[in-house]
Amino acid sequence: MTDGVNLNGQEQLDFMVTRTDPGVRAIRSALEDYRREFDEGVESLEVYAAIMEVQRKAQGRIKRRHRMGEDEAREKLKGGIPLLEPDWYHGIESDIYLEMVRSIFSILGEKSLQDLELPDVDEWEVLSEGALENTLSRVLRGEPVSLGGGEGQRYQENISEILWEALVPFASRYDSILQEKIEQPSWQKGTCPVCGSLPLMGKIRSSDGLRLLECSLCRCLWMFPRIGCTYCGNREQKTIHYLYLGEERTRRVNICEKCSKYVKTTDERERAKDLILPLENIATMYLDQMAKDQGYNPGNVKSG
Ligand SMILES: [Zn+2]
Ligand SMILES: [Zn+2]
């Protein structure tokens, strides 16, 4: 049985919710590695690496942090409640948020994945002072955001994803919570213990072989059993399978036959460097295609 770690056992006590925060140098170096590995198709990786850089830059300017005492945090996790309040995004610094949206559009324009002029996002009703909170709540719930007719129409296609990415630096301002050294005693969910979002993908950590999932929004990492569906909670070994491409065994898709959903996992143990999962997620889009071709659905918003 390779059930990762017994969550009710002694091993759990040392585990903490951690956050990934690769620096610009690590992002660029990872991009170089992918360029060497893949002959083609690195454009999307370049775009996302650039987005990660602006997210990181914005993070340093965001003053409002999510704060919480150790006891409160522990109580919440025990009760299966994510640490951030459901309305954590209320009152975020909207000037920095709009700047993020603009920067992401400009990256998409520069890398010319799309023939887009930089939109005048300050004019958009959905991002106006009075509408922003409602818009963000739609984005977080995975509901469509409509830019209305006219000019906005041209930007409709990727708007939800862009608004999501612009929110990432705000969601990840919770370092003060993590400084409290929170263990992850009873969190067995497939959703993020910090913000409640779905996982982007997972990895088998090189240092200890644990399976960790990375949040698609706040970038925290949490432990999840190796045999287990992150979506429906299924733990039956006979209905959980892996898909691989060819001989490559370090990258796989965890498939659940019960709910027909999947999540990707890359084994970090045979790699020279720590994985940067948001980039790895894009580098392994071929696995998403393979899983979808076989009738499985991504549970997360990012690969959909
Ligand atoms: Zn999260
Ligand atoms: Zn399932």
CATH assignment at residue 248: 3.90.1670.10
Of all ligands present, the nearest one to the C-alpha of 178 is 1
Do 158 and 257 share a domain, yes or no? no
Q: Do strands 297-298 and 211-215 pair parallel, antiparallel, or not at all (unpaired)? A: unpaired
* Angle CA 85–17–14, to nearest 5: 140
Q: CA-to-CA distance for 86 and 81, rounded, in angstroms? A: 10
Distance 78 CA to ligand 2 centre (A): 23
pLDDT tens string for the chain (304 positions)?
A: 333 333 333 333 344 677 778 889 999 999 999 999 998 879 999 999 999 999 999 988 998 777 777 788 888 888 889 989 999 999 999 999 999 999 999 998 887 655 667 888 888 999 999 999 999 999 999 999 998 777 777 788 889 999 999 999 999 887 666 655 556 556 878 999 999 999 999 999 998 898 999 999 999 888 888 888 999 989 999 999 999 998 889 999 999 999 999 999 999 998 888 899 999 999 999 999 999 999 999 976 543 3
Give how many domains the chain has, as a whole number. Answer: 2
Do 168 and 250 share a domain, yes or no? no
DSSP state of 252: E
Task: Report the predicted TM-score, pTM, of the whole model to 2 decimal places.
Answer: 0.89
Do 28 and 174 share a domain, yes or no? yes
Domain boundary (178, 208, 227) is at 178
Q: What is the pLDDT of residue 260?
A: 96
> Quick one: tokens of 123?
């004019």
Distance 304 CA to ligand 1 centre (A): 18
Do 28 and 169 share a domain, yes or no? yes
Give Dmax (Cα) for the chain: 60
Q: Is 115 helix (H, G, I), strand (E, B) or coil?
A: coil
Do 149 and 269 share a domain, yes or no? no
Distance 300 CA to ligand 1 centre (A): 12
Distance 195 CA to ligand 1 centre (A): 4
Q: CA-to-CA distance for 302 and 304, rounded, in angstroms? A: 6
Distance 215 CA to ligand 1 centre (A): 5
Distance 257 CA to ligand 1 centre (A): 26
DSSP state of 264: E
Distance 198 CA to ligand 1 centre (A): 8
Distance 15 CA to ligand 2 centre (A): 25
Distance 117 CA to ligand 1 centre (A): 32
Do 10 and 29 share a domain, yes or no? no
Structural domain of 100: 24-178
Q: Phi/psi of residue 199, each to 5°? A: -75, 150
Do 132 and 196 share a domain, yes or no? no
> Quick one: tokens of 133?
């909170």
Q: What is the pLDDT of residue 184?
A: 59
Of all ligands present, the nearest one to the C-alpha of 230 is 2
Q: Among candidates 201, 298, 199, which has minimal Cα distance to 252?
A: 201
Do 197 and 125 share a domain, yes or no? no
Q: Bridge partners of 113?
A: none
* Angle CA 107–271–243, to nearest 5: 85
In a domain, residue 303? The reply is no
| C-alpha pair distances (Å), 219 with each of 134, 180, 209, 303 | 23, 18, 20, 16
Domain boundary (136, 153, 178) is at 178
Of all ligands present, the nearest one to the C-alpha of 239 is 2
Domain boundary (178, 198, 226) is at 178
In a domain, residue 165? The reply is yes
Q: Among candidates 291, 79, 60, 66, which has minimal Cα distance to 185?
A: 79
Amino acid code (one letter) for 98: L
> Quick one: tokens of 74?
């522990």
